[in-house]
Amino acid sequence: MSLSCKSKQPDGQRRRLLGGIAGAVSLGGGFSLIELALAKSEDEAISSLNRWGLLIDTAKCASGCDACVKGCNTEHNLEGFDRPETDAQWIRKLEVTDRQTGHVSSLPMLCQHCEDPPCVDVCPTGASFRRQDGVVLVDKHTCIGCRYCVMACPYKARSFVHESLYNQKSYSPRGKGTVESCTLCVHRIDDDRTPACVESCNRDGNGAMVFGDLNDADSQIAKTMRDSASRQVREDLGLNTGVRYQNL
């Protein structure tokens, strides 16, 4: 499993570079130029120099806690219609049991933001795509609702919207007849913020999730992944997922 990407992507990283330059110029009063340098201006395009990912520690994630799920549902206004089979679900909690030992792990399952996403492979219209910074999305303007991607996803991470919706968030358009899944909160990423699930886990849960740039050797996520073992779910598929698990 090579994480330090089989880089289709050039080395180095804009934010790291800027951070490095600004690092030398940190100012007094808790104010540092690093934060300024980190911010992507709104007219700036994303870059393949970044690859966003999540690291989830299943040892910290507790059975019965669903702070991340609640955070996601609130952020994107994922209301249920009391039809669990078809209600939208971008992140869900799973309990996985090791049949041999009986050890039970609790973990959140969501779009794994693969480098080689099966959903993108099968999509007939090109609606499923991978952003340059590694986030896998559906362009709902192009999606025809065929649901091939839903079938192709090994993580069952995608949902189909069956009902007309009327109260979407301005930053999270959703509509009947299209497929949707975790966006890794791109609207937040583009604004240099952390995804809602991670924020909720830190605030109301057990601090089991770390979000960051896998390509940035100095980021917390990259350091932790270098120093301790982590796994991909279904690593046999060789998808190079952006979401990784510890203690699984």
Mark residues 178-207: x for contact with ligand SF4 by CB under 6 A, - for none: -x----------------------------
Piece of 5-13, 39-47, 105-113, 192-200 that binds other proteins (CB under 8 A): 39-47
163 forms part of the interface with other proteins (CB under 8 A)? yes
Burial of 45 (0-12, 13-18, 19+ CB in 10 A): exposed
Instruction: Supply the minimum distance, in Å, between the C-beta of residue 160 and ligand SF4.
Output: 7
Number of residues that bind ligand SF4 (CB under 6 A): 14
Instruction: Supply the minimum distance, in Å, between the C-beta of residue 103 and other proteins.
Output: 34
101 forms part of the interface with other proteins (CB under 8 A)? no
Binding residue (CB under 8 A) for other proteins from 81, 116, 125, 207: 81
Piece of 27-35, 54-62, 140-148, 226-234 that binds ligand SF4 (CB under 6 A): 140-148
Binding residue (CB under 6 A) for ligand SF4 from 149, 157, 189, 201: 149
- Rounded Cα–Cα distance for residues 143 and 156 (Å): 18
Query: Judged by CB, which is closer to ligand SF4: 147, or 187?
Result: 147
Piece of 162-170, 201-209, 217-225, 230-238 that binds other proteins (CB under 8 A): 162-170
Binding residue (CB under 6 A) for ligand SF4 from 70, 147, 162, 223: 147
127's CB contacts (< 8 A; 6+ apart) are 138, 139, 140, 141, 142, 143, 144, 179
Piece of 43-51, 144-152, 164-172, 238-246 that binds ligand SF4 (CB under 6 A): 144-152
Query: Judged by CB, which is closer to ligand SF4: 50, or 112?
Result: 112
Residue 82 touches which of ligand SF4, other proteins, none (Cβ within 5-8 Å per kind): other proteins
Instruction: Compute CA 35 distance to the chain's CA centroid, rounded to the nearest angstrom.
Output: 22
Least Cα distance to 182 among 60, 83, 71 occurs for: 71
**Binding region for ligand SF4 (CB under 6 A):** 122-123, 125, 127-128, 138, 143-149, 179
Contact residues for other proteins, defined by CB under 8 A: 40, 42-46, 77, 79-82, 129, 131, 133, 137, 139-141, 163-171, 173-176, 178, 186-187, 189-191
